[in-house]
């Protein structure tokens, strides 16, 4: 139970999404007075909100953060704001204009309104994409962002800088969290980095050889979604402000190792098949240095990859079974 959350009013933009829905569950443990979720359901769903949609503390508003009047109504009596609504990296690349409207313009309006209504603290979902291919591994927050090549990474970095300037100009307290590769039940089944898990789970279910494109050495830092929700709570309850933090598991896992772990937790003896790499991934490595979050937010991830993959597999196979026609 966190005193700061108890009886407080909290807005979560994008709260019907993958990470947002776990954050709601985590916050409810500390008895807030109200949680308002503003989400247009472009990616989020009622299914994600199943465990709390009937809870009278939670108010779900189906709407768009680009609707300035609606955003103002949501922020007007919020003590705290978690800003999670965003387009996915692929969606930004497919439609940068929409990316601009959602990731930049609406985020700007949100910052203005947080100042206007004296929001006590804002927690911003940033991303390891701000680094592009980082300079150092493990990557500290001080690595520079000049190697990012994506609109999405650029937009996230701009968001961080926007809040930084609003802290400087208007005293708006904020923390930015740079998530690495988040995975777990309710995850996107066609995300840019993590979708490979879902493809392989399909292979395990159907008994087909899982495919690895290239030599399988591309690595990621997989952090379990419940840990990411806890990092958000830690960022809110701490006195820390005007800082960005990595949120990863601090373990570098190659695609080859990921597949081995997935086969192991599912007791599968399938043999992977290798294919020539057909796309160039400019980000061939990811590994977070979490020391800053540990020291200042007292946050440390708790889920091992195997534990997380077990929960993911169970969810995915149950979901697929329940979706079969009767
Ligand atoms: N999943 C990851 O690996 C990862 C990694 C780094 C950063 N992030 C960031 O974390 C946050 C949450 O990500 P997620 O994985 O839960 O993604 P998600 O797509 O499941 O959640 C985002 C939510 O925002 C909503 N949304 C999008 N545009 C909106 C709009 N215009 N108005 C209102 N709602 C809108 C979507 O419907 C969705 O429910 C995002 O900001 C994302 O960029 C995620």
Task: Report residue 225's pLDDT band, with 50, 70 and 90 as the boundaries.
Answer: very high
Residues 262 and 243 in one domain: no
Residues 86 and 153 in one domain: yes
Tell me 135's DSSP state: S
Residues 166 and 231 in one domain: yes
Residues 129 and 76 in one domain: yes
Catalytic one among 152, 174, 183, 193? 152
Quick one: average pLDDT of 228-239? Answer: 98
| Contact 48 CB / ligand 1 (< 6 Å) | no
Q: How many CA atoms lie within 13 A of 138 on its CB side?
A: 17
Average pLDDT, the chain: 95
- Determine the distance separating the centroid of ligand 1 and the alpha carbon of 30, expressed in angstroms: 23
Cis upstream peptide for 138 (omega within 30°): yes
Cβ–Cβ under 8 Å, residues 80 and 122: yes
Cβ–Cβ under 8 Å, residues 188 and 165: no
- Tell me: pLDDT of 94 over 70: yes
Q: What pLDDT, on a 0 to 100 scale, did the predictor assign at position 193?
A: 66
Look at residues 112, 70, 37, 84 and name the one whose alpha carbon lies nearest to residue 232. 84
- Taking only the tens place, the pLDDT of each residue in 35-89 is 999 999 999 999 999 999 999 999 999 999 999 999 999 999 999 999 999 999 9
Residues 239 and 262 in one domain: no
Please state whether beta strands 80-83 and 9-13 pair in parallel, antiparallel, or not at all (unpaired): parallel
Task: Report residue 319's pLDDT band, with 50, 70 and 90 as the boundaries.
Answer: confident
CATH number for the domain harbouring residue 267: 3.90.25.10
Query: Domains in the chain: how many in total?
Result: 2
**Within a domain: 29:** yes
Enter the tokens of residue 209. Answer: 């050889």
- Determine the distance separating the centroid of ligand 1 and the alpha carbon of 89, expressed in angstroms: 10
Rounded to whole angstroms, the Cα distance separating 115 from 97 reads 26
Burial (CB count <10 Å: 0-12, 13-18, 19+), residue 252: middle
Task: Report residue 188's pLDDT band, with 50, 70 and 90 as the boundaries.
Answer: confident
- Taking only the tens place, the pLDDT of each residue in 14-39 is 999 999 999 999 999 999 999 999 99
Residues 96 and 66 in one domain: yes
Q: Is 152 a catalytic residue?
A: yes
Residues 236 and 261 in one domain: no
Ligand 1 atom showing the smallest separation from residue 84 Cα: 41
| Contact 102 CB / ligand 1 (< 6 Å) | yes
- Tell me: pLDDT of 324 over 60: no
Look at residues 240, 265, 254 and name the one whose alpha carbon lies nearest to residue 141. 240
Q: What pLDDT, on a 0 to 100 scale, did the predictor assign at position 52?
A: 98
- Determine the distance separating the centroid of ligand 1 and the alpha carbon of 297, expressed in angstroms: 23
Q: What pLDDT, on a 0 to 100 scale, did the predictor assign at position 25?
A: 98
State the DSSP string of 278-305. -S--S-----B--HHIIIII-------H
- Determine the distance separating the centroid of ligand 1 and the alpha carbon of 209, expressed in angstroms: 32
Measured by CA distance, the residue closest to atom 29 of ligand 1 is 85
- Taking only the tens place, the pLDDT of each residue in 267-308 is 999 999 998 876 767 899 999 999 999 999 999 999 999 999
- Taking only the tens place, the pLDDT of each residue in 160-184 is 999 999 999 999 999 999 999 999 9
Enter the tokens of residue 248. Answer: 């990863």
Rounded to whole angstroms, the Cα distance separating 189 from 265 reads 19
Residues 270 and 139 in one domain: no
Q: What pLDDT, on a 0 to 100 scale, did the predictor assign at position 228?
A: 98
Measured by CA distance, the residue closest to atom 34 of ligand 1 is 39
- For 31, the domain range is 9-180+224-247
| Contact 246 CB / ligand 1 (< 6 Å) | no
């Amino acid at each position: 139970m966190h005193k700061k959350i108890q009886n407080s009013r909290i807005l979560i933009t994008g709260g019907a999404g993958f990470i947002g829905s776990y954050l709601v569950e985590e916050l409810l443990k500390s008895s807030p007075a109200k949680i308002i979720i503003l989400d247009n359901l472009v990616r989020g769903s009622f299914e994600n909100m199943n465990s709390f949609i009937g809870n009278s503390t939670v108010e779900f508003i189906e709407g768009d953060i680009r609707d300035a009047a609606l955003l103002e109504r949501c922020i007007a009596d919020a003590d705290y704001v978690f800003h999670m609504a965003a387009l996915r990296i692929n969606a930004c690349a497919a439609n940068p204009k929409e990316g601009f409207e959602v990731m930049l313009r609406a985020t700007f309006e949100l910052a203005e309104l947080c100042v206007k209504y004296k929001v006590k603290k804002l927690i911003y979902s940033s991303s390891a994409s701000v680094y592009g291919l980082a300079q150092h591994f493990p990557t500290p927050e001080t690595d520079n962002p000049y190697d990012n090549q994506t609109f999405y990474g650029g937009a996230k970095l701009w968001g961080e800088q926007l809040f930084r300037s609003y802290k400087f100009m208007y005293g708006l307290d904020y923390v930015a969290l740079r998530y690495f590769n988040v995975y777990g039940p309710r995850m996107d089944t066609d995300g840019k980095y993590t979708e490979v898990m879902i493809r392989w789970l399909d292979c395990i279910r159907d008994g087909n050889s899982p495919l690895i494109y290239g030599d399988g050495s591309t690595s990621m830092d997989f952090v379990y979604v419940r840990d990411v929700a806890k990092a958000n709570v830690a960022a809110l309850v701490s006195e820390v402000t005007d800082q960005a933090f990595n949120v990863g598991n601090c373990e570098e896992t190659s695609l080859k190792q990921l597949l081995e772990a997935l086969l192991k937790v599912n007791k599968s003896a399938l043999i992977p098949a290798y294919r020539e790499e057909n796309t160039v991934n400019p980000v061939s490595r990811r590994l977070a240095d979490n020391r800053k979050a540990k020291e200042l937010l007292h946050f440390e991830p708790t889920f091992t990859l195997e534990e997380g993959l077990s929960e993911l597999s169970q969810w995915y196979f149950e979901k697929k079974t329940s979706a079969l026609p009767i």
